[in-house]
Structure 1
Amino acid sequence: MAEAEKGFFTKHWEGYKEFWCERFSFLENYSRFIKREKPLPSWTASDVEEFISSDPVHGPVLKTAREAVKYGAVGSIVGAVTTGGWVWKYSRSLHGAGLSFAAGAVFGWTFGHEIANHHLQLYRLDTMAAQTKFMEWWQKKVEGQ
């Protein structure tokens, strides 16, 4: 279809689609592992530890990224309990306490990851490359290569 024949919405939709595809192009790193005919089986913590000990470059980065998750989990628990408890104490509203509990968990998770980002200096590490290397290693191990 020629450019002049396209409608107003079609032209703008293609523009938005192109814009967001550029912004989320990093997702292509994982598509070869996600969009498979036969999905990769789940791995265990011991499999991850095996990779960490076998790869001197990406192993420590993956280990640090896994530690950052603990910060997020603690932040989520603290945020959920404090906001939910505070709302329950002052309003005695069950639905309000539930919503604030959920919102506190989300905000706490985000805040915990920000703390981990600075404390563990994740901004200096390429965690996506480490995760991709782990997925490649897991694929080779599972397929017996």
Structure 2
Amino acid sequence: MSEVQESKSFLRKHWEGYKEFWGERFSFLDNYSRFLYPEKPLPHWDSSVVEEFIASDPIHGPTLKTAREATKFGVVGAVVGAVSTAGYAWKWSRSPHGAALSFAFGAAVGGTFGLEIANHWYQLYRLDTMASQVKFYEWLQKRA
């Protein structure tokens, strides 16, 4: 064996094997590296830039607009879930930490239900929302 491998610690050898093992199984995540680690950072954008993209792209623009409208359902669901569960927890236990945990759990569950309602309301299952978001990302990079 080479001196380099012999000089590695027991933990270092196992950690490298662990990383290699899981790296092979999650190699599909490399497809997202251009979004997670871009060559240059995206410029600042706001809703007016999104509206400009929606107006300029007749295929992916309406899909992105629908997906943005669907987020309102998720926000409303999260607020309703958080306030109602925290309210019940406070009413019946008068426990601040229980109310705080109920608030967080209610926000997560309510937001999930809100997004499910939006999925059916806007029939998002028929649309490819990820493709429209990727096109917006690419458009934003080209624009910069």
Assess same fold via TM > 0.5: yes
Kindly indicate whether residue 23 of structure 2 is the aligned counterpart of residue 21 of structure 1.
no
RMSD: 2.2
Q: Secondary structure at the match of 1:40?
A: coil
Deviation, structure 1 residue 90: 0.5
2:31 partner amino acid: E
Evaluate the alpha carbon distance shift between residue 43 and residue 120 of structure 1 in structure 2; reply closer, same or farther with a 3 A threshold. same
Residue in 2 that maps onto 1:49 = 51
Report how many aligned residue pairs link the two structures. 133
Q: Secondary structure at the match of 1:105?
A: helix
The structure with the larger Rg is 2
1:129 partner amino acid: A
Evaluate the alpha carbon distance shift between residue 77 and residue 12 of structure 1 in structure 2; reply closer, same or farther with a 3 A threshold. same
Q: Secondary structure at the match of 1:84?
A: helix
1:119 partner amino acid: W
Match of 1:58 among 50, 60, 81: 60
Deviation, structure 1 residue 14: 4.3
TM-score, scaled relative to structure 1: 0.81
Q: Give me the whole-angstrom Cα distance separating, in 2, the residues matched to 1:38 and 1:12.
A: 31
Q: Secondary structure at the match of 1:87?
A: helix
Q: Sequence identity, in percent?
A: 60
Q: Give me the whole-angstrom Cα distance separating, in 2, the residues matched to 1:124 and 1:85.
A: 37
The one-character-per-residue Cα deviations of 1:77-132 (angstroms, maximum 9, x if unpaired) are 00000000000000000000000001100111111111111111111111111001
Unpaired runs of at least 5, structure 2: 1-12
Q: Give me the whole-angstrom Cα distance separating, in 1, the residues matched to 2:80 and 2:118.
A: 15
2:89 partner amino acid: V
Asked if the contact 1:76–1:109 (Cα under 8 Å) also holds between the matched residues in 2, the reply is: yes
Q: Give me the whole-angstrom Cα distance separating, in 2, the residues matched to 1:106 and 1:20.
A: 27
1:91 partner amino acid: S
Q: Give me the whole-angstrom Cα distance separating, in 2, the residues matched to 1:130 and 1:43.
A: 16
Residue in 2 that maps onto 1:117 = 119
2:80 partner amino acid: V
